[in-house]
Structure 1
Amino acid sequence: MTTDEYPATMKFLLSSKSEGNTISSNQLPPHYQRHAFKDAVVEFSEGSFGCFSVQEIRSKSWVIGWLNFSIRKPIRLNTIIDQPMVAIVCILKGNISYELQGYGNLMLRKNMYGCYYIPADSKNTASFAVDEHEAVYCSFSNDFLLSFVTQHPNFQQLYDAQQNRSQNGNALSTFKVNIEERRILDAIRQCNLTGPAKHIFFHARINDLLISYFNSLEVADKKQYRSIDQQIRLREIQVFIQDNFHLPLKVQTLSKQAGMNLRSFEKGFKELFGIRPKEYIEQQRVSRAAQLLEATNIPVTSIAYQVGFAGTNYFSFVFRKIHNCSPREFRQKWLEKNKIASDQDL
């Protein structure tokens, strides 16, 4: 089977400075047999940096690549993609810093998986710290992808990029490798079938992995929708407070008005506006009180009640917390400042 007959594959090359006395082989040495992926095409490299292997099983619809890196000193590897690649990548051990052409730096984290578009013949690099690293990728043919593009609009973007041989990489959301995804990968790794049956089995497991990924995307989309809807309701509450701060507002009542439980309401309000609901109400009241202290001769006690405080003591406490002075001191300072300005005008 020639290169054009199967989907994209991924290779790793050392930079010329790092090569040294590197040994390459198409077989795993005895000490690396624990990583063997049965019936896979093998590429193994070893040097002073440590060693790594790329083991691939290929079909016309997909390629499964099992990657293992045993790194003794930090190293950066160039990644070579022979064709435009759309792949689902699962990181099982270690963290890998990946520079994706046209996209930027990605941190591929342990026990996370996601979908990526990687341009052909692109300048991508993977950086490895001293550690054991393990990853699995499944790349797909255009025809195979076509059966999934309707599942999510972002997946259509990856398909179009592959079709158009875009030179800019792309990455979709990443999700945790949970029990179900681990079960699928273990089934692939431990499969003892042979011949056509093995490829049929792998094809089914790859479908399972993609379905799991799309389910995660759908859940994430729903959470994002709920988040946007929540923001709209919180902003409505913000406006309501601005218009009604003089009323005896209670946070519990506002949370019900927003259709949220108290804990979610307080947390969401703080995340969106950087201040707790109670503090925001008090801030609005004190702001109006300051205006009245400057512009009128209304007694402080009357102002306290007029802006919504239940008593002067707490009003003075909150006012001092915001302005570092009492309401009376604030008014006196403003009068003195205004008198000085008037004298200067004369």
Structure 2
Amino acid sequence: MKFKVPPNMEPHIRVSNKIPSSHAQYQVSHAGAEFVTGDFGSFLTQEITTPFWRLGWLNFFIKEDSYLYPTTQTAMVALYATIDGDIPCKLEGFGDLVLQNRRYGFYYIPPEVKNEAFFQAGDYDAVYVSFSLTFLSQFIDENPRFKDLYTRQNEQVNSGIALPTYPITQVELDILNKIRYSRYKGKSQELFIQARINDLLVSYFQALEGAGKEEVDTNELEQRIQDVANYITHHLHQSLSIADLSKKARLNLDKFEKTFKQVMGSAPQKFIEDTRMQEAARLLRTTDIPIADVAYKVGYADQGYFTKVFKRVFGVTPRKYRQDNSDANNSV
């Protein structure tokens, strides 16, 4: 995979097969490298190639918001993982998508077309593994969607597709780090990386299979979400991460967020904030405990941040809210 710059930038870029000493920490052992610099910043691509797969590491160091254009000479089916950064893209024949931070999934990328990727200023880290038709043929029966991937690559179809993406957990991150920092050489390196690629594929297939098992009836889904909502209400003082709540519902993150909004009428994070604010308002109306304690009881260790959120929701500070409600009660 190559990344092209906009035509007006092409005369001003510099391309080298050597990695500058300032970026030596990103070097992948025994990989071919290309380092491109320009006014936009720089990016580094490194690849290890075998007859059955190609492993590519991508690092971007962007100084100003820029568009780059991913291209491939031949049709490509790739397992792509974004380790750092969110990258909005346009995939030819598929449309808009976002390569989300710490997620991975399969993509079909058509040959010789101009895909588009937008990079805000910052650093990005990603890796992909593309597969030969021979390698990919092993997975045709694993899931019907893989047959479509195989067919598109075989026929050089001119429209891309994207399969579901899943979170990169510590398991997948450890696999990727083992690949990146491997010091094997020659055939030993190839066999080692092949084994780690297989580990990565196992993780993806397990996630795909798990998502399929989550197709449960509507009543059960609603009950799971209601149980999570009740848990939130009774644990406002605790740290409530969406990832942990999705596990309580026994749903993957995407399915949980979508179903929660359908059942409760708001996204999980907004529901948590609204519930915390309503409980804070109740405590301010009905008790005289210090505002710092109110903040703590509803999950805010930082009173200043609690005050900021409360004012955004109610239009007044917690202190003013308490005064106004006390005045109203006294006038009755």
User: Do the two structures share a fold, i.e. TM-score over 0.5?
Assistant: yes
Which residue, out of 196, 204, 218, partners 1:213?
204
Task: Look up the match of 1:201.
Answer: 192
- C-alpha distance in 1, partners of 2:188/2:85? 33
Q: Say which SS state the counterpart of residue 77 (structure 1) adopts.
A: strand
Matched, 1:112 2:103: yes
Normalising by structure 1, what TM-score?
0.65
CA contact (8 A) 1:20 1:47 kept: no
Task: Look up the match of 1:325.
Answer: none
Q: Which runs of 4+ in 1 moved over 6 A?
A: 264-270
Code of the aligned partner of 2:164: S
- C-alpha distance in 2, partners of 1:108/1:186? 20
Q: Say which SS state the counterpart of residue 184 (structure 1) adopts.
A: helix
Task: Look up the match of 1:12.
Answer: 3
Code of the aligned partner of 1:263: D
User: How many percent identity over aligned positions?
Assistant: 37
Code of the aligned partner of 1:214: F
- C-alpha distance in 2, partners of 1:184/1:66? 14
CA contact (8 A) 1:40 1:57 kept: yes
CA contact (8 A) 2:179 2:196 kept: yes
Which residue, out of 65, 68, 90, partners 1:99?
90
Task: Look up the match of 2:127.
Answer: 136
Q: Say which SS state the counterpart of residue 78 (structure 1) adopts.
A: strand
- C-alpha distance in 1, partners of 2:225/2:99? 36
- C-alpha distance in 1, partners of 2:194/2:262? 44
Change (3 A) 1:121 1:77: same
Matched, 1:156 2:147: yes
Change (3 A) 1:207 1:233: closer
Change (3 A) 1:231 1:18: farther
Task: Look up the match of 1:167.
Answer: 158
- C-alpha distance in 1, partners of 2:198/2:21? 33
Matched, 1:23 2:14: yes
Code of the aligned partner of 1:197: S
CA contact (8 A) 1:87 1:139 kept: yes
- List per-residue Cα deviations over 1:233-265 (Å, max 9, x = no partner): 98xxxxxxxxxxxxxxxxxxxx7xxxx796379
Q: Say which SS state the counterpart of residue 9 (structure 2) adopts.
A: helix
- C-alpha distance in 2, partners of 1:261/1:35? 43
Task: Look up the match of 1:230.
Answer: 218
Task: Look up the match of 1:67.
Answer: 58
- C-alpha distance in 1, partners of 2:2/2:176? 21
- C-alpha distance in 1, partners of 2:4/2:12? 14
Task: Look up the match of 1:279.
Answer: none
Normalising by structure 2, what TM-score?
0.67
> How far 1:150 moved relative to its partner?
1.4
Change (3 A) 1:262 1:76: closer
Which residue, out of 10, 34, 44, partners 1:53?
44
Task: Look up the match of 1:263.
Answer: 227
Code of the aligned partner of 1:50: G
Alignment RMSD: 2.4
- List per-residue Cα deviations over 1:205-244 (Å, max 9, x = no partner): 1111111001001111111x11xx225998xxxxxxxxxx
When the two structures are aligned, how many residues end up with a matched partner?
Answer: 239
- C-alpha distance in 1, partners of 2:120/2:69? 15
Change (3 A) 1:21 1:113: same
Q: Say which SS state the counterpart of residue 12 (structure 2) adopts.
A: coil
CA contact (8 A) 1:112 1:176 kept: yes
Which residue, out of 32, 41, 57, partners 2:23?
32
> How far 1:78 moved relative to its partner?
1.4
Code of the aligned partner of 1:69: F
- C-alpha distance in 2, partners of 1:57/1:75? 27
Q: Say which SS state the counterpart of residue 154 (structure 1) adopts.
A: helix
Which residue, out of 73, 78, 81, partners 1:82?
73
CA contact (8 A) 2:73 2:111 kept: yes
Q: Say which SS state the counterpart of residue 64 (structure 2) adopts.
A: coil
- C-alpha distance in 2, partners of 1:86/1:123? 16
- List per-residue Cα deviations over 1:155-214 (Å, max 9, x = no partner): 221111111211110000111110110011001001111110110111111111111001
- List per-residue Cα deviations over 1:274-299 (Å, max 9, x = no partner): 69xxxxxxxxxxxxxxxxxxxxxxxx
Change (3 A) 1:265 1:94: closer
- List per-residue Cα deviations over 1:69-111 (Å, max 9, x = no partner): 0000011111120111000000011111111000001111111
- C-alpha distance in 2, partners of 1:187/1:63? 16
CA contact (8 A) 2:225 2:260 kept: no
